[in-house]
Each structure stands twice: as structure tokens, then as C-alpha cells.
């Protein structure tokens, strides 16, 4: 079996192999589809390792039928910098030394398969101390419940195919939405963010590499947010006013580190579960069965094969409109009045 590690940096991704005979390869931030194509053409059984600060690639790999493992802090040394992962070669060597210290990922559970997660403000009960600390940071999970408006949101983009398809569907219904792109992808596909912003959609911040935030230092978290906001600003001409922690991982430790950021934290109260690829009908049914006034709906325009999301979107939009909901951006949803008199 051939063992490969995938590292990320400010410039993109590197793939290295434990045998050190297969040449390493580099891919830009907007070239994830090319990275997956390269790995699917490796002509021998392959085990791929990513680490917990790199949540942008595993969905693509799993959708392509590849075998993926995750290395968590207990399995790696202290060589990881504040910004960037440990070396791809080191990740490949971890796998070669034995897969038992790593977690094998499955599509149905996603990037954090098998990981014990601490309580998060994203899912903490209303009135709990952690939920209150999240609210003190400006964290929102939904808008006012007394107005017939909801916000559709799309994470992990942009993607050269799926983002365009979603924008076309939204335009067909004259509907606005909010996109939370990853900085690495935004740095290579900024024209898609510019296209979304020009169409009236909101663009927020979803970190640079889609890390599990509790594994970052305070300096690493700040750089993830600031670099991503810079990339979005370069693409759209406007700095984002919103940020969304990957996995909703706003733990007590992350709350302590999340200081001085201008971006307001926007979570969600309806998870479409499209990341698990349960089928377009299941995605639409889940969203339409759970929305209520003020809901923020979580979907994805990248991070893997999002063809089911694209297929489900017309039914979701039509179902919302039939129920009398306005489709707003998150800032519009949170505004005192959606349509001032």
C-alpha cells in the first residue's frame, strides 16, 4: 500500500508519499478537483492522511472513493506552525508507521469521524453559560421569529462547478443567500465570490483551511480569520461582516481566543445534512421539515460532491416561497426590518 500525506499552507496544498520515490505534487487553493483527479489515478492501493486543521479536502477524497485518515494532535509532534499544517511527508510517514493511531473517515460522519468533541456554543442549550458566552460575542443561530424570512447559507466554497450552478438557480428565483467560503479556495477562485457579491449575495468568512478550531493557537485562529477576510476583500471589494466557525466549533476555549474580531459569528438552526450526501429528496425534505421564521439554513457549495445540493435547491426554494417566506441574506435577516417602510 502507498501512504500519502496532504499538507496545507498559505499557497495551497502539497501531497507527499512515504516511499519518497513517488514525486511530491503541489496544487493551488482553487485546484482541489485537480488534486483529487491526481490521487484517483495513482495505480496502487492508497491510504491518505490529513490533519485536523485541514478540513477542506477530505469530503472530495471520500466522494471519489478514496481511503482517508485524520491525524489529531496526540498523534503529531509540536512541529506544526501557528499557520499551516505539519509537512505532508511527516503525515505520510505517520500512516506508514501504523494506521492504528489515526481515525479513518466515513462520509456519513464527515471530517470529525470518531473524535470526542467538547461542548460547543453552537449546540449548547439556550440559557447555558456557554451559549450565553457565545451570544456575548455576537453569535447568532437564527433571526427574529416574528417575520416570515429565512436565510439560505452555503459553506466551504467556492467551487468552479457547484458554486456557479447554485448562483444560477438563485438568480432564477431572484433569491439572495449567504456564502461562507474557505480562504484557500477564495484565493484561487475569487472571481466566483465577486460574481456572488455582484448578484446581491452576502459573502462571509469560513476560515482559511477549515480547521477544527480547538486545535489552533490564539495566533493561528487570528491568522485564519484575517487572511480569509483579506482574500474575500480582494475578491469582492468589501470586508466580510460575518464569520462561521467550521463544524460550529465555538467551544469555551475558542470563545476565550475569539477576541477583537470584527466579524459577527453566524451559525445556523437548520442543518440540511447535505455533507453526508443522503440524496436530493432527503436534503429538501429535511430543510422544509425544520424551517421556521428566522431560520438560518446550513448547506454547502463545495467540500465534496455537491450535486445533490444543486438538485435539491429548487425544491427548497419553491417550498420556502409556497410557505410565504422571504429569502434573505443573513444580515438582512438580522436587520430590524427586512423591508423598511
C-alpha cell at 243: 464569520
Q: Could you tell me if 180 and 310 lie in one domain?
A: yes
Q: Is residue 118 one of the residues assigned to a domain?
A: no
17-31 residue pLDDT tens: 999 788 999 999 999
324 found inside a domain: yes
Catalytic residue among 269, 300, 301, 305: 300
- The residue among 87, 112, 137 that closes a domain is 112
Mean pLDDT by groups of 10 residues along the chain of 341 residues: 96 94 93 96 95 95 96 83 94 94 94 92 89 91 96 97 98 98 96 98 98 95 97 97 96 92 95 96 98 98 96 98 97 75 38
Contacts of 221 (CB under 8 A, 6+ apart): 213, 254, 257, 258
- For the chain, how far is it from start to end, CA to CA, in angstroms? 66
Residue span of the structural domain in which 219 resides? 129-334
- Please indicate, yes or no, if residue 122 is contained in any of the structural domains: no
Q: Which residue in 58, 155, 156, 269 is the catalytic one?
A: 155
> How many structural domains compose the chain?
2
Asked whether residue 213 is domain-assigned, the answer is yes
Place of cell 456572488: 196
Q: Do 81 and 179 belong together in one domain?
A: no
Is 155 an active-site residue? Answer: yes
Instruction: Please indicate, yes or no, whether residues 139 and 210 belong to a single structural domain of this protein.
Output: yes
pLDDT 10s digits, 31-62: 999 999 999 999 999 999 999 999 999 999 99
| The predicted structure's pLDDT at residue 188 | 94
- CA 139/CA 266 separation, integer angstroms: 6
Q: Are 142 and 294 in contact (CB under 8 A)?
A: yes
Is the pTM above the cut of 0.85? yes
Verify whether residue 300 is a known catalytic residue.
yes
H or E element at residue 163: helix 162-172
Of the candidates 82, 112, 142, which is a domain's last residue?
112
Amino acid at each position: 500500500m502507498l501512504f500519502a500525506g496532504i499538507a496545507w499552507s498559505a499557497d495551497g496544498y502539497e501531497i507527499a508519499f512515504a516511499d519518497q520515490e513517488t514525486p511530491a505534487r503541489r496544487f493551488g487553493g482553487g485546484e482541489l478537483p485537480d488534486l483529487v483527479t491526481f490521487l484517483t489515478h495513482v495505480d496502487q492501493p492508497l491510504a491518505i492522511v490529513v490533519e485536523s486543521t485541514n478540513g477542506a479536502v477530505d469530503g472530495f477524497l471520500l466522494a471519489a472513493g478514496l481511503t482517508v485518515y485524520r491525524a489529531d494532535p496526540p498523534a503529531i509532534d509540536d512541529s506544526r506552525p501557528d499557520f499551516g499544517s505539519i509537512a505532508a511527508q511527516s503525515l505520510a510517514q505517520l500512516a506508514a508507521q501504523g494506521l492504528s493511531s489515526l481515525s479513518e473517515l466515513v462520509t456519513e460522519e464527515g471530517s470529525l469521524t470518531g473524535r470526542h468533541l467538547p461542548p460547543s456554543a453552537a449546540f449548547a442549550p439556550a440559557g447555558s453559560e456557554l451559549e450565553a458566552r457565545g451570544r456575548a460575542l455576537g453569535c447568532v443561530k437564527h433571526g427574529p421569529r416574528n417575520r416570515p424570512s429565512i436565510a439560505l447559507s452555503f459553506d466551504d466554497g467556492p467551487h468552479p462547478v457547484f458554486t456557479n450552478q447554485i448562483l444560477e438557480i438563485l438568480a432564477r428565483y431572484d433569491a439572495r443567500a449567504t456564502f461562507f467560503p474557505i480562504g484557500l479556495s477564495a484565493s484561487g477562485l475569487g472571481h466566483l465570490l465577486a460574481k456572488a457579491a455582484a448578484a446581491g449575495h452576502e459573502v462571509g468568512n469560513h476560515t482559511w483551511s477549515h480547521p477544527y478550531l480547538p486545535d489552533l493557537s490564539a495566533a493561528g485562529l487570528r491568522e485564519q480569520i484575517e487572511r480569509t477576510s483579506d482574500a474575500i476583500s480582494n475578491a469582492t471589494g468589501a470586508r466580510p461582516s460575518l464569520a462561521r466557525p467550521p463544524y460550529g466549533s465555538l467551544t469555551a476555549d475558542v470563545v476565550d481566543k475569539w477576541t477583537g474580531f470584527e466579524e459577527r459569528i453566524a451559525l445556523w438552526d437548520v442543518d440540511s445534512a447535505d455533507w453526508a450526501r443522503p440524496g436530493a429528496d432527503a436534503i429538501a425534505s429535511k430543510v422544509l421539515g425544520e424551517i421556521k421564521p428566522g431560520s438560518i439554513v446550513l448547506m454547502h457549495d463545495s467540500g465534496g460532491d455537491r450535486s445533490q445540493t444543486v438538485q435539491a435547491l429548487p425544491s427548497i426554494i419553491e417550498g420556502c416561497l409556497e410557505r410565504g417566506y422571504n429569502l434573505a441574506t443573513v444580515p438582512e435577516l438580522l436587520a430590524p426590518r427586512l423591508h423598511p417602510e
